[in-house]
Amino acid sequence: MESTTLRGNLLNEAAEWRLLSLLFDCPNEGWFGQVKELGDQISDDRLKRAASSAQSEATEGVFHSIFGPGGPAPGREVSYRGWVQPGFLLSELNGYYDAFAYKPLTHEVPDHVAVETGFISYMKLKELFALECRDTENAEIASEAASAFKEEHLSKFAQTLSKLLAASGYEYLQLAGEVLFDRVGSDKDKGKQIFLPVIEEDDDPNFECGSSAL
């Protein structure tokens, strides 16, 4: 019975994270049908309301005006992490995605909230599949990777994004932001001092700015 309950919970979680991913993505052909179908199947009341509101509120124009360049709520993780090099961040994300063969069906970049939330949905399904195959080791790996990903990436901007979406004027985005923040929590490293790598003088005493050798 416990095993059956766990599998049911994982399937529901996967569907809810998939719905979150869609709500943060640009509406396209088939989008509204997928959102409605998932909203009918899940148990989270706020996500059900978000799926319902999206049917009348969501448009491609709304998506770009909110999440696009100059919009009030950037959809990319890098926008909230000023000291992180974009190349390093994307490399780290692609490392996660490649390790688990995640290939999202979206035009958004790897650090977009729609892609990152979709990854959690995918990992819930990976965990469920491993359990169905009685592969407890890989089920645990998938579970731990999803938890680490939420802490290392989604938690870094979920709270701020949620606050911005609360003022968007669109109920479906406000609810999606609330649910995301509730599920990943606050950034545990917020407020900690960040030490960037520096070059010690003794390591390279001849280091100079400019092109003095020319």
What are the residues whose beta carbons fall under 8 Å from the beta carbon of 87, sequence distance 6 or more?
A: none
Q: What is the pLDDT of residue 194?
A: 45
For the segment 19-73, what is each residue's pLDDT rounded down to a tens digit?
999 999 999 989 999 999 999 999 999 999 999 999 999 999 999 999 998 899 9
Q: What is the pLDDT of residue 62?
A: 97
Per the CB < 8 A criterion, the answer to whether 16 and 48 are in contact is no
What DSSP designation does 26 have?
Answer: P
Q: How far is CA 77 from the centre of its chain?
A: 8
Per the CB < 8 A criterion, the answer to whether 106 and 25 are in contact is yes
Task: Report the pLDDT averaged over residues 113-141.
Answer: 97
In the chain, the percentage of residues whose pLDDT exceeds 90 is 78
By three-state DSSP, how is residue 174 classified?
Answer: helix
User: Regarding predicted confidence, which is higher, 143 or 200?
Assistant: 143
Is pLDDT at 13 greater than 70 in this prediction? yes
Q: What is the pLDDT of residue 195?
A: 41
By three-state DSSP, how is residue 112 classified?
Answer: strand
Q: Would you kindly state where each structural domain of the chain is located, as residue ranges?
A: 2-203
Q: What is the pLDDT of residue 198?
A: 40
Per the CB < 8 A criterion, the answer to whether 70 and 105 are in contact is no
> Residue 191: which pLDDT band, with cuts at 50, 70 and 90?
low
Task: Report the pLDDT averaged over residues 176-182.
Answer: 98
Q: What is the pLDDT of residue 189?
A: 80
Least confident of 13-17, 89-93, 105-109, 190-194: 190-194
Q: What is the pLDDT of residue 50?
A: 98
Q: Does 2-203 carry CATH code 1.10.3480.10?
A: yes
Q: Write down the mean pLDDT value for the chain.
A: 89
For the segment 79-124, what is each residue's pLDDT rounded down to a tens digit?
998 778 899 999 999 999 999 999 998 889 999 999 999 999 999 9
Q: Which long-range contacts (CB under 8 A, 24 or more apart) does 156-165 make?
A: 156/77, 156/80, 156/81, 156/187, 156/189, 157/77, 157/79, 157/80, 157/81, 157/113, 158/184, 158/185, 159/186, 159/187, 160/80, 161/73, 161/75, 161/80, 161/113, 164/72, 164/73, 165/66, 165/73
Cα 22 to Cα 126: distance, rounded to the nearest angstrom: 19
> Residue 203: which pLDDT band, with cuts at 50, 70 and 90?
very low
Q: What is the pLDDT of residue 22?
A: 98
